[in-house]
Amino acid sequence: MISYSCKRQIRCRSKLSFILGGYNYDAIYKALKEEERTLSEKSVGWLNKAFKLKENHAAIGRSDGKVTFCDGGYSIALEGLQVFVFKDGKQITAYNWKIEDGTKNFRILYSTKTDKSGKIFFCLILRGDVPIIVGHAEDVEQETHYELLIHAWDTETGYIWVGDNRDGGLTRIDYLISGDMTGKQNFIENLIAQSYVQKTSKEEEKHE
């Protein structure tokens, strides 16, 4: 008889297989660093709790043909998503999705857990042949320093997470949407560009 812990591990590996890329899962999984594997496995647990609408857990992922944001007591379909990831101060990727793109090739899984102090632990997975995995958990801190900004929105509300994979964690900002969303997308992109220019200028000043 298969033990409960083994069944749980099998379910976790099955979910990870889907998350990380399906048919090429074994090769992708073996290539991950230990900290990336641990974060990926934790993300599955956080995702399951978020989609069961458990308190202090949130997630963005595909569900029932939609890209869904689940947070505590509610679940809602998203209209769009932007993700920016920085490594050691330099942008390494940007991902944009809109509802008209459909969900077949949606590549993001994002899950969070908020502890009693209000700190947000998280894991972001950007699927691909070489997936990008960024996160921070109670017992996991990545050697590489990553910063990220995630911007998601539904028909009425926008959600922004910004921060890094260090003890400072993430800050979440929610805002109400009025008018055309295009302007807000451009605003976020301009904010990222301005922040990067300012950071680069400061680093150059340090080296002078």
Q: Which candidate, 94, 119, 91, 120, places its Cα nearest to that of 108?
A: 94
pLDDT of res. 120: 95
Q: In the chain, which stretches have pLDDT less than 50?
A: 1-12, 14, 196-208
List the beta bridge partners of residue 144: none
C-alpha 128/C-alpha 107 separation (Å) is 8
Query: What pLDDT does residue 197 have?
Result: 43
Question: What local confidence, expressed as pLDDT, does residue 192 receive?
Answer: 58
State residue 27's pLDDT score.
Answer: 75
Condensed to tens digits (0 to 9), the pLDDT of residues 136-191 reads 999 999 999 999 999 999 999 999 999 999 988 899 999 888 766 555 556 666 66
Tokens of 194: 């301005």
Q: What is the DSSP string of 142-157?
A: -SS-EEEEEEEE-SSE
The strands making up 157-164's β-sheet, listed across from edge to edge, are 90-98, 80-87, 146-153, 157-164, 170-176
